[in-house]
Amino acid sequence: MAAVTILETKGLHREFGGLTAVDRVDFTMTQGEVHALIGPNGAGKSTFVGMVSGRIWASGGRVIFDGQDITARPAHARIRMGMAYTFQITAIYARLSLFENIALALGERSRPRVQEALDHVGLTERMDEIAGDLSYGHQRLLEIAMGVAQAPRLLILDEPTQGLAESEIEGFNALIRRLAGETSILLIEHNMNVVMALADRITVLDTGRILATGAPDEIHADPHVQEAYLGTG
């Protein structure tokens, strides 16, 4: 069966005061894949996913999701279409319980649905605790659960392992493996061990442009990627 495209950008472009952050990027992601987006700091990764999610307006180009041009649609409309985006910095409600955080993400107070989302990240037993009392790593996992709770067709994870302990990273990897195939996952990540372990394909951004796209082994062996990012050239 031919792969189905879930996300596509055509000539996606963003300038800030004359500075080009993302330079006419053509990007394709297929349904059910884990696609990692990597690159040095300042490469344009967060700006790119901001435009995909609707949190940053594009200066030019198009965003196509599930066959529909969504370039002009705001973030909340894209969420309703099946996108979920977790931030580089945790965006939980620290004074509310885990249950209330998930319920807000769901838009309903269904205890079975909240429990299902927390089951994914191993936090079910802490459902009634205050989110701000969690460790930083568990707060990151709660935020992912908030995204998963929406049953998205595309889950965008921006630096999800930042600040996680090694044992928590192992748990995160197991979570993504469980989700893979159920939903499409766009993973923005600096930890190359995580990227190589999880990604079906990798796209490398450098100075706002795509430097390479391919399977993990292809990217690891690419001399241009080694020189620009991996530091092995």
Residue 38 falls inside a structural domain: yes
CATH number at residue 190: 3.40.50.300
Give residue 208's Cα distance to chain centre. Answer: 18
User: Does 88 or 137 have the greater pLDDT score?
Assistant: 137
The mean predicted confidence, pLDDT, of the chain is 90
Domain of residue 91: give its range: 34-56+73-230
- Does 65 map to a domain? no
3-42 tens-digit pLDDT: 899 999 999 999 998 899 999 999 999 999 999 999 988 8
**Total domain count, the chain:** 1
Q: Is residue 26 part of a domain?
A: no
Q: Per-residue pLDDT for 233 more than 50?
A: no
Q: Is residue 25 part of a domain?
A: no
62 pLDDT above the threshold of 70: yes
- C-alpha separations of 54 from 26, 48, 65, 70, 73 in Å: 17, 10, 12, 9, 7
Does residue 17 lie in a domain region? no
In a domain, 145, yes or no: yes
Rg (CA), the chain: 18
Dihedral class, residue 105 (left if φ above 0, else alpha if ψ from -120 to 50, else beta): alpha
Q: Residues of the chain with pLDDT > 90: what percent?
A: 59
Instruction: Confirm whether 155 is domain-assigned.
Output: yes
